[in-house]
């Protein structure tokens, strides 16, 4: 059992595909997610137009490739400040980076806000959480065990 000051830690190997890429970093001692930043060509930016103004999903490069340890995944999530202040988020949140993926980490972003949003080089655009995973052994059966809830879903447990 871990004490209050102990954290589960694993090694995350990071390869910079661009020397200007920012290394993922925790911003506070007990942060769950590491901030990851956009890595854009010199002198360029990405304008995220709102969906209501013809905007679309844009894959934002980070200039990084990572090696997640087996038994773990990297979950890429929106930054709460971008989402609440600007409506900028990820359409597949959280995105999963599997332990066997070695390509560049790219963040799909979309603007659900009202104003265009400019992404610049080095801007913190998402957060990455390293989480343990379990793989299931799938068993095909003819019946499932009964529960009080049964097949109720989509708000069925609301009172």
**Mean pLDDT per 10-residue section of the chain, whose length is 159 residues:** 72 98 96 97 97 95 98 97 96 96 98 97 98 96 92 73
Residue 68: per-residue pLDDT: 98
Residue 152: per-residue pLDDT: 81
Q: What is the pTM of this model?
A: 0.87
Residue 6: per-residue pLDDT: 75
Q: Which two tokens stand for residue 13?
A: 């190997």
**Nearest-angstrom CA–CA distance, 145 and 70:** 32
Cβ neighbours, 10 Å, residue 2: 7
Residues forming beta bridges with residue 116, ordered by sequence position: none
Residue 105: per-residue pLDDT: 98
Residue 159: per-residue pLDDT: 57
For tokens 């609440």, the residue is: 84
**Nearest-angstrom CA–CA distance, 122 and 20:** 8
- Strands, E assignment, 24-153: 34-37, 45-48, 58-67, 72-78, 88-89, 95-97, 104-111, 117-120, 124-132
Task: Name 11's Cβ contacts closer than 8 Å, sequence gap at least 6.
Answer: 69
Residue 154: per-residue pLDDT: 79
Residue 8: per-residue pLDDT: 84
**Domains of the chain with CATH codes:** 13-132 (2.70.40.10)
């Amino acid at each position: 059992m871990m004490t209050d000051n102990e954290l589960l830690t694993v090694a995350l190997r990071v390869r910079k595909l661009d020397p200007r890429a920012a290394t993922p970093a925790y911003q506070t001692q007990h942060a769950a997610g590491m901030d990851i930043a956009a890595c854009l060509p010199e002198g360029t930016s990405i304008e995220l137009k709102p969906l209501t103004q013809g905007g679309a999903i844009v894959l934002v490069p980070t200039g990084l490739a990572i090696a997640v340890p087996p038994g773990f995944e990297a979950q890429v999530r929106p930054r709460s400040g971008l989402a609440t202040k600007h409506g900028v988020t990820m359409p597949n949140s959280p995105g999963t980076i599997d332990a066997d993926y070695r390509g560049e980490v790219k963040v799909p972003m979309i603007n659900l806000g009202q104003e265009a949003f400019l992404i610049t080089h080095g801007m913190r655009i998402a957060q990455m959480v390293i989480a343990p995973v379990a793989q299931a052994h799938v068993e095909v059966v003819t019946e499932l065990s009964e529960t009080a809830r049964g097949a109720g879903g989509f708000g069925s447990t609301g009172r």
